[in-house]
Amino acid sequence: MATTKINPSELYDSTPFGFSHAAVQDGGRVLHLAGQVAWDADCNVVGVGDFAAQVDKALANIAAVLAHSGLGPSDVVRLRTYIVDNDMERLGAVVGALKRFYGDETPAPNTVVGVQSLALPDFLVEIEAIAQFRD
């Protein structure tokens, strides 16, 4: 089954790091997004040391991939959130950011996983998503 890789120009070039931002699965029309972190288009960490800012940027990156693909938050069918040194305060920041991300839409399922670290030491959160096309 063929797939189409998606790498929006408004995000950083992820291919040198061994992944695309998303892939469309032909035949099922499902969009698989790579875990998004608080990187801007120039690979600068947004909100170094600021967990809430990093959550907002990761979700903004997800929104950019969705928009590039003609989708929005209502099309997300699954999230997975990895939080470094998870605690109630950090979880609360994620919940608030997700409410802003979804607005009035019903949120997709989300699994939260506390982790020791992520790919780079400055990353405090990473969020994966799967979305469904409305064909």
Where residue 81 sits, what CATH number does that domain have?
3.30.1330.40
Report if residue 7 sits inside a domain. Answer: no
> Residue 124: CA atoms inside 13 Å, Cβ hemisphere, count?
20
Average pLDDT of the residues in 1-14: 85
Specify whether the CB–CB gap between 57 and 38 falls below 8 A: yes
Residue 20 belongs to some domain of the structure? no
Position 46, amino acid: V
The predicted pLDDT at position 2 comes to 60
Structural domain includes residue 36: yes
64 occurs within a structural domain: yes
Task: List, for residues 45-85, the tens digit of each pLDDT value.
Answer: 999 999 999 999 999 999 999 999 999 999 998 999 999 99
Looking at residue 23, its pLDDT comes to: 82
At 109, the amino acid letter reads P
Read off the pTM.
0.89
Range of the domain at 95: 27-132
CB 105 within 8 A of CB 58: no
Residue closest to 108 by CA, chosen among 64, 76, 69: 76
What's residue 17's pLDDT? 79
| Partners of 31 in beta bridges | 24, 131
pLDDT of residue 47: 98
Query: What's the Cα-to-Cα distance from 6 to each of 9, 19, 46, 107, 135, rounded to whole Å?
Result: 10, 10, 22, 23, 18
pLDDT in tens, 101-131: 999 888 999 999 999 999 999 999 999 999 9
Give me the mean pLDDT over the 40-48 stretch: 98
Total of domains in the chain: 1
Residue 106 belongs to a domain: yes
- pLDDT value of residue 1: 46
The answer to whether residue 10 is domain-embedded is no
In sequence order, the 6+-apart residues with CB closer than 8 A to the CB of 11 are 21, 39, 41, 61, 64, 65
Q: Is residue 63 part of a domain?
A: yes
Angle between helices 51-68 and 88-102 (to 10 degrees): 30
Quick check: is 1 in a domain? Answer: no
